Structure 1
Amino acid sequence: MSITVNEAAGGYRSVFRVGEFRPVFAAHLLSVLGTVVAEIALTVLVFRATGSPLMSALTFALGFLPYALGGTLLAGVADRRPARRVLVGCDLVCAACATAMVLPATPVAGLLVLRCAMAFVAPLFQGTRNASLADVLGPGDGYVLGRSLMRMVAQSAQLIGFGLGGLLLTVLAPRAAIALTAAGFLCSALLLRFGTRSRPARAAARTSPLAGARAVLGDRRRRALILLFWLPPVFVIAPEALLVPYADGIGAGTAALGVMMCALPVGTIAGELWAGSVLGPRTRSRIVAPLAAAGLLPLLVYAFRPGVTAVLAALLLAGLAHAYTLGLDQWYVDAVPDALRGRAMTLLSTGLMTLQGVGMALAGLAAEFLPVHAVVAGAGVLGTAVVLLLLAELRSAGPREGRPKNETGPAAK
């Protein structure tokens, strides 16, 4: 297969030429960094106030627990309200919550409630923003590259965000760091309000959360696609979730542990950059099946209880295989009608976040009964089998077609 740089039609640079995308990207960067700083500062604040490791850990966990509930209950809002209004409203809610956290009179219980409120609106914000990218950049290659950039920012937050937060806390009190988070959300709201166009809502009819989920998942192809997004991370998260006990088991030091923790996100970012910069839309579509099928195979090296070097190689390869998601993004946006796009994107991001948490918990549970290296290798085997089944289901669901414009639910196929 011959691949040239020209095939990518300008790559990521072409996305930044769209004037409306630049404030969207800047707002996303501010939101991600603000959330990371708030997580660290709030965890430190609660620990200092209570002296309880449990309360400190609970503060961090509360960033995930309300996610599924918010994504389920609020998904319909993404289509029933104008996207800009939803995005600005979510940013203002988060800014208000962060501001309330700064007040010295706010008790620990209040801090936890406010943290839950921020997490509750997060899936609505993410789903609405991802849906609106297709309006800003078009539903074609621009949308795929824009989504890729958003993911890379989120992945980079794992590498630099926590370090930045730690540095801030060496010169600022936790509440002062949270004040910066509030300012970041306000700046994000201003960027979205004045940097993007006002567009009408996609759907006027009000539907129940379950009906909205049925509308998205009722189509066989959409269901297979969304499961192909959701399920592989359940298995690929296993080595990350068990990295600390595995490193301890092979006698790796803290420096080696830190490098290993970076391997998977670095591989993921590199894979997306390669696919977005070098490959064109057709090639990205062709590599979905082979990369998805092979993406978990590097984890099989854990069966031999490898050392640091082999683990780094395996995690980097697993991350690089993540390049298949660019082609999968295009398939998904092609399969979703305009009237369902907000709900579909909110449901997608909700499932991704929730199931990664489930994957971590399952990996930890399995490691209570089995050796860590066997759990990770088993995740590679089981995950590969699941991906192959999903690819077979996707093939049976029929070939990719043009974007449906008038479909509003599963009955209109």
Structure 2
Amino acid sequence: MSSAPQAVSAPAGPGGGYRSVFRVREFRAVFAAHLLSVLGLVVAEIALTVLVFRATGSPLMSALTFALGFLPYALGGTLLAGVADRRPARRVLVGCDLVCAACAAAMVLPGTPVAGLLILRCAMAFVAPLFQGTRNASLADILGPGDVFVLGRSLMRMVAQSAQLIGFGLGGLLLTVLAPRAAIALTAAGFLCSALLLRFGTAARPARAAAARTSPLAGLRAVLGDRRLRALTLLFWLPPVFVIAPEALLAPYADGIGAGTVALGVMMCALPVGTIAGELWAGSALGPRTRSRLVAPLAAAGMLPLLVYAARPGVAAVLVALLLAGLAHAYTLGLDQWYVEAVPGELRGRAMTLLSTGLMTLQGVGMALAGLAAEFAPVHLVVTGAAVLGTTVVLLLLAELKSAAPCPLPPVPSAARRRPPTEE
């Protein structure tokens, strides 16, 4: 290919909303591929957990199988981040899908031992941050860096949230009629279909050549060395560490207040449902300027509903608190726009990879810290403390962001600000 095609963005005029994103042909292919891979991965996690438990009879090994979906994220995201900029995006995406399809296919083989199953799961998780970062960076090429990109990112997040809710139910249903290995075979087929969609549904674009000479460590310094970009990154990373606490501790909290399994299931859905509703509202009803204005107030107030835990509330109050905390997540749409404007184009791939890596890794850290704290303090006080600490952290980050550079209202999407490359 002699040159990269220009980003084809649908106009994001008033009232366009999410429909403007689906007018872009390439995005439709990326969206469908994302849906297939997320659903397939959720089904694989459930089936693999059941398979390992049946083979070993060990709850610890079963739990470890699920945890391996998170643990390799930090290593893979750090070591592979530079690949997102040094290689053509479509080639990276298709390659990651094929690696995951091959790993899932190997899990299906009857002779694969438990240790092999765990290694294969690690391999899938190892390439996941590279795939996510490359896809998120390529969205800016496909949709342009303006408001259509923000809405595209929002849709991808909502798909991930919804697919997890649907996928767990679908996985449980599949395992009533299929053996675990047969369910995993569907995952392999899903990754293959995703690879085909990305290969034939998206355009070939060259690598970001300016990043080809930088090492992974140099790229990490370039992303986190800039004061404003570092503050934006931390504003994505750190709030979930605290927001995850009520989710991680819902089972012991429900047991402590005498709630049944049905109430527990409803409470577990509250935060993701609120998150999806908040993003739908912000993306459909608000324009880019309004979303930008709401970043600070929504981020600062997002964890305040969780303070109701101090009174050790019942199911109804917990549901309302979790829904409100989820709704406040709408601030990420404005934050997305600030972030893509702050990242130099030649570092966009590794920046997005590191962003995904930090989000997944720190959520796992947050779960572990919440569980550890609950060993020494009542669950309702742990959640209350997480809300207080989280709000304090967000306020400090917002102050740092304001000091690094004032947060003006976003410019017209087509005139997104560009920064010169960072020298290494």
TM over 0.5: yes
Structure 2 residue aligned with 1:199: 205
Q: Are 1:79 and 1:201, in contact at CA under 8 Å, matched by a contact in 2?
A: yes
Residue 96 of structure 1 deviates from its aligned partner by 0.4
CA deviation profile, 1:329-381 (whole Å, cap 9, x unmatched): 00000000110000100000000000000001111111111110000001111
Q: Within 5 Å, give how 1:312-351 maps onto structure 2.
A: 312-351=319-358
Letter in 2 for 1:184: G
Check if 1:237 corresponds to 2:244: yes
Q: Within 5 Å, give how 1:11-410 maps onto structure 2.
A: 11-204=17-210, 205-400=212-407, 403=416, 405=418, 407-409=420-422
Residue 406 of structure 1 deviates from its aligned partner by 5.6
Q: 1:78 to 1:200 in 2, by over 3 A?
A: same
Q: What SS does structure 1 have at the residue aligned with 2:209?
A: coil
Residue 7 of structure 1 deviates from its aligned partner by 7.2
TM-score computed with the length of structure 2 as normaliser? 0.94
CA distance in 1, matches of 2:86, 2:417: 19
CA distance in 2, matches of 1:286, 1:102: 50
Structure 1 residue aligned with 2:4: none
- How many positions carry a matched residue from both structures? 406
Letter in 2 for 1:298: P
Q: What SS does structure 2 have at the residue aligned with 1:287?
A: helix
Q: Are 2:300 and 2:391, in contact at CA under 8 Å, matched by a contact in 1?
A: yes
Q: What SS does structure 2 have at the residue aligned with 1:408?
A: coil
CA distance in 2, matches of 1:403, 1:75: 24
Q: Are 2:307 and 2:384, in contact at CA under 8 Å, matched by a contact in 1?
A: yes
Identity, % of aligned pairs?
A: 88
Residue 206 of structure 1 deviates from its aligned partner by 3.2
Give the root-mean-square deviation of aligned CA atoms: 1.3
CA distance in 1, matches of 2:196, 2:158: 23
Q: Are 1:62 and 1:112, in contact at CA under 8 Å, matched by a contact in 2?
A: yes
CA distance in 2, matches of 1:359, 1:282: 32
CA distance in 2, matches of 1:391, 1:397: 10
Q: Are 2:342 and 2:419, in contact at CA under 8 Å, matched by a contact in 1?
A: no
CA distance in 2, matches of 1:152, 1:36: 15
Unaligned 5+ segments in structure 1 are: 1-5
TM-score computed with the length of structure 1 as normaliser? 0.96
Letter in 2 for 1:70: G
**Structure 1: 4+ residue segments shifted above 3 A:** 6-9, 400-406
CA deviation profile, 1:193-224 (whole Å, cap 9, x unmatched): 00000001013523222211101011111000
Residue 157 of structure 1 deviates from its aligned partner by 2.2
Q: Are 2:134 and 2:353, in contact at CA under 8 Å, matched by a contact in 1?
A: yes
CA distance in 1, matches of 2:365, 2:423: 28
CA distance in 2, matches of 1:114, 1:361: 24
CA distance in 1, matches of 2:59, 2:94: 35
Q: Are 2:40 and 2:190, in contact at CA under 8 Å, matched by a contact in 1?
A: yes
Q: 1:97 to 1:399 in 2, by over 3 A?
A: same
Letter in 2 for 1:305: R
Q: Are 1:337 and 1:404, in contact at CA under 8 Å, matched by a contact in 2?
A: no
CA distance in 2, matches of 1:273, 1:410: 39
CA distance in 2, matches of 1:60, 1:153: 21
Letter in 2 for 1:229: F
Unaligned 5+ segments in structure 2 are: 1-11, 409-414
Q: Are 2:341 and 2:418, in contact at CA under 8 Å, matched by a contact in 1?
A: no
